[in-house]
């Protein structure tokens, strides 16, 4: 593994994760809870996110890259539980704002890839991978841009899809709040915040997601390159 590729991965991870948490914080602020905003989480600056979750923002991402060849990690934005219980639908919107931010970056990366293909800078890769959602026609700067764009696409697809799983403590577990009354929301919150439930949820999510992400990546590749078959 090249150090240069590790740096590319980490820079994309920092931006993508900060964007995810800033979306949570900004949405909560606009919907009436300024807890994360006052805590400095409504920003793309990774510093407050690293300060709050150094393990998930620094140690685990770097270790996962050198162990597995790709990065995973986490961050968090604080919120007012009383506000969430009183406004379950707003709390649900706050939760899905994070994955929505990641999917926004996926769409922007897809647009960049298609523009690159149209301008003959990029081409469909022989096989799909985290760093090969597109390949450059020539070396040099286009190759660097192709790798960065590929990481933006694949990493944010992973972060968005993983966090949408309806399993505590992931963001997708809060989707029922969009349709809940305050009394039902309290029961949901009480269940989701139990440490045993959160630990079991992460174990289940991690093992399940490993089986479904490759098909998700292949589906995204077929949308990027209609008529090209990947397996």
The catalytic site residues sit at 21
Alpha helices (H) along the chain: 3-30, 35-38, 46-52, 54, 60-68, 81-86, 88-118, 141-163, 182-192, 195-224
Q: How far apart are CA 35 and CA 25, in angstroms?
A: 8
Query: What is the radius of gyration, based on Cα positions, of the chain?
Result: 19
Packing angle between helix 182-192 and helix 195-224, nearest 10 degrees? Answer: 100
**CA atoms 125, 128, 131, 133: torsion sign:** positive
Q: DSSP characters for 172-215?
A: GGGGGGGG--HHHHHHHHHHHT-HHHHHHHHHHHHHHHHHHHHH
Strands 122-123 and 135-136 come out as antiparallel
């Amino acid at each position: 593994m090249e150090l240069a590729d590790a740096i590319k991965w980490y820079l994309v991870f920092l931006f993508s994760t900060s964007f995810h948490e800033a979306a949570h914080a900004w949405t909560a602020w606009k919907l009436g809870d300024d807890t994360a905003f006052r805590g400095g989480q409504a920003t793309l600056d990774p510093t407050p996110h690293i300060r709050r979750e150094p393990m998930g923002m620094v140690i685990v991402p770097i270790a996962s890259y050198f162990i597995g060849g790709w990065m995973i990690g986490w961050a968090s934005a604080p919120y007012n539980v009383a506000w969430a219980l009183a406004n379950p639908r707003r709390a649900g919107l706050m939760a899905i704002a994070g994955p929505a931010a990641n999917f926004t970056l996926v769409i922007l990366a897809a647009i960049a890839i298609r523009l690159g293909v149209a301008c003959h800078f990029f081409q469909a890769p022989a096989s799909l991978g985290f760093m090969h959602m597109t390949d450059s026609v020539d070396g040099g700067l286009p190759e660097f841009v192709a790798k960065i764009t590929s990481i933006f696409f694949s990493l944010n697809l992973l972060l968005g899809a993983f966090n949408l799983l309806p399993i505590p403590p992931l963001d997708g577990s809060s989707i029922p709040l969009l349709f809940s009354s305050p009394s039902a929301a309290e029961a949901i919150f009480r269940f989701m915040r139990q440490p045993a439930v959160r630990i079991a949820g992460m174990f289940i999510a991690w093992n399940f997601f490993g089986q479904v992400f490759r098909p998700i990546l292949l589906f995204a590749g077929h949308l990027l390159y209609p008529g090209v078959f990947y397996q």
